[in-house]
Structure 1
Amino acid sequence: MNRTARIALAKGLYDPSCDVFAVESCSEIEVGDGLVYLPTAEHQSTGSSAFNRTNGIVSFKTD
């Protein structure tokens, strides 16, 4: 069964590295166990750290 889903992403919060017209070329998305994993966009870190820029990973449930 071929299933298609759409997730609306807020502009500037995530960085999936996808071409809008060729989503098959997405290089920074993982899918598995009913979840889609996306990196967040790089942003200023909080707290006192030697690293001033950071990003994270978020997941969305697909079923």
Structure 2
Amino acid sequence: MDNDFIITPKEDKSVTISIRIDKVIQDKFDELAKQSNRSRNELINMALKYALKNVKFIESEKED
């Protein structure tokens, strides 16, 4: 019988960053967190993923 207790390295795919946001945005995320029973961090991650999936990059038009 194989009774080994096998542990593999944890894949940590998250990083910690610091950003500055307007107080109004923080307040809105806090309210959404309260309403949804989710953490502010989780909601911000959801918003960032949504933004990345839906971003449209427009090249600036060069002036002649």
Identify the TM-score tier after normalising by the shorter chain. under 0.3
Quick check: which one's strand share is greater?
1
Quick check: which one's helix share is greater?
2
With the length of structure 2 as denominator, give the TM-score of the two structures: 0.27
Q: Pick the structure with greater CA Rg.
A: 2
